[in-house]
Amino acid sequence: MTAKQSALKDLPPDLEPARLPQHVAVIMDGNGRWAQRRGMPRIMGHRRGVDTLKDLLRCCKDWGIKALTAYAFSTENWGRPLEEVDFLMTLFERVLRKELREMQAEEVQIRFAGNLAALPASLRLEIDRSMEATRHNQGIVFTVATNYGGRQEIINACRAIAHQVQQGTLQPDAVDEALFEQHLYTAGNSDPDLLIRTSGEMRVSNFLLWQLAYSEFYVTDTLWPDFDRTEFHQALCAFQQRDRRFGTLS
Ligand code: FPP
């Protein structure tokens, strides 16, 4: 075992630390089905999903993965029944309030991606509080995509850039990938190396449309509340088998 590996808590010996993804993104799908299969209301699946997410965040930190991004609420999710939307908003708020102390202890830097202005004011308050309190933490960057839509994000960036061009403060030729990225919700984050989607669906569902350009995809039939360290280990093994060519030849 290498010195670096022994410093990573409980990293399975078949994973090569140098070839782990730096940034993992997750589409946490299947909460509702998980609950319904047990005869429980869908919201119980979301509640259980929070525990899964907490475990995954801790696991990423233990195994030396630098960033985790989770798709918590899409711009399309407003179309769900009002009680479910209300439950989710209250759940996010409660989790942020309850977990802040532990995020500090674990050196988690929390960020949010999405149209936050449209969220309930009490949730925005917790979002601001948690971002401000954790902004210097260096353990792991944890981004929560909340009221997030990839197309909307790209349109917002285009608008901001068009505005600068119209004002004469930016030349059209100066618009490049690096500049464009600065106008995304995720400005300052690296792109995900690995995207995991649970519950077997093979879609990106308007998630990180720009940022996933060269991410490796891993889909599992497991429903989100059942996605544990063993499952994550399998996803990482699959990732380490991939030949990432970024459009070139190996
Ligand atoms: C998708 O399952 C899940 C969601 C829309 C919500 C996910 C949110 C959490 C796990 C809470 C995270 C909390 C914080 C503070 C980050 P689904 O309802 O679409 O399941 P289904 O496909 O079985 O219907």
- Ligand 1: which of 28, 47, 86 to mutate, most ligand atoms within 8 Å of CB? 28
For the CA of 73, the closest atom of ligand 1 is: 5
| pLDDT class of 7 with cuts at 50, 70, 90 | low
- What domain range is 224 assigned to? 20-149+191-240
- What single-letter DSSP state applies at residue 33? H
> Does residue 202 sit within a domain?
yes
14 among known catalytic residues: no
Please give the tally of structural domains in the chain. Answer: 1
Lookup result for tokens 């993965």: 65
* 225 in contact with ligand 1, CB cutoff 6 A: no
Burial 75-110 (b: 16+ CB within 10 A, else e): bebeeeeeeeeebbbebbbebbeebbeebeebebbb
Residue 246 has what pLDDT? 83
For the CA of 144, the closest atom of ligand 1 is: 16
Q: Does 35 score more than 50 pLDDT?
A: yes
221 among known catalytic residues: no
CATH number for the domain that contains residue 53: 3.40.1180.10
Residue nearest atom 24 in ligand 1 by C-alpha distance: 32
- pLDDT tens digits along 169-200: 999 999 999 999 999 999 999 999 999 999 99
pTM: 0.95
Q: Does 3 score more than 80 pLDDT?
A: no
Distance of CA 45 to the CA centre of its chain: 18
- pLDDT tens digits along 78-124: 999 999 999 999 999 999 999 999 999 999 999 999 999 999 999 99
- pLDDT tens digits along 212-239: 999 999 999 999 999 999 999 999 999 9
Q: How far is CA 218 from CA 29, 201, 221, in A?
A: 13, 11, 10
C-alpha dihedral sign at 114, 119, 123, 124 = positive
> Does residue 203 sit within a domain?
yes
> Does residue 156 sit within a domain?
no
State how far the Cα of 168 lies from the Cα of 219, in Å rounded to an integer: 45
C-alpha dihedral sign at 72, 77, 82, 84 = negative
**Over residues 9-16, mean pLDDT:** 94
Burial class (CB in 10 A: 0-12, 13-18, 19+), 232: buried
State how far the Cα of 170 lies from the Cα of 8, in Å rounded to an integer: 45
The CA 204 to ligand 1 mean position distance, Å, reads: 15
- pLDDT tens digits along 36-81: 999 999 999 999 999 999 999 999 999 999 999 999 999 999 999 9
- Higher per-residue confidence, 7 vs 39: 39
Nearest to 66 by CA among 213, 207, 191, 154: 191
Residue nearest atom 11 in ligand 1 by C-alpha distance: 50
State how far the Cα of 33 lies from the Cα of 30, in Å rounded to an integer: 5
> Does residue 185 sit within a domain?
no
Quick one: tokens of 184? 């995304």
Residue nearest atom 22 in ligand 1 by C-alpha distance: 30
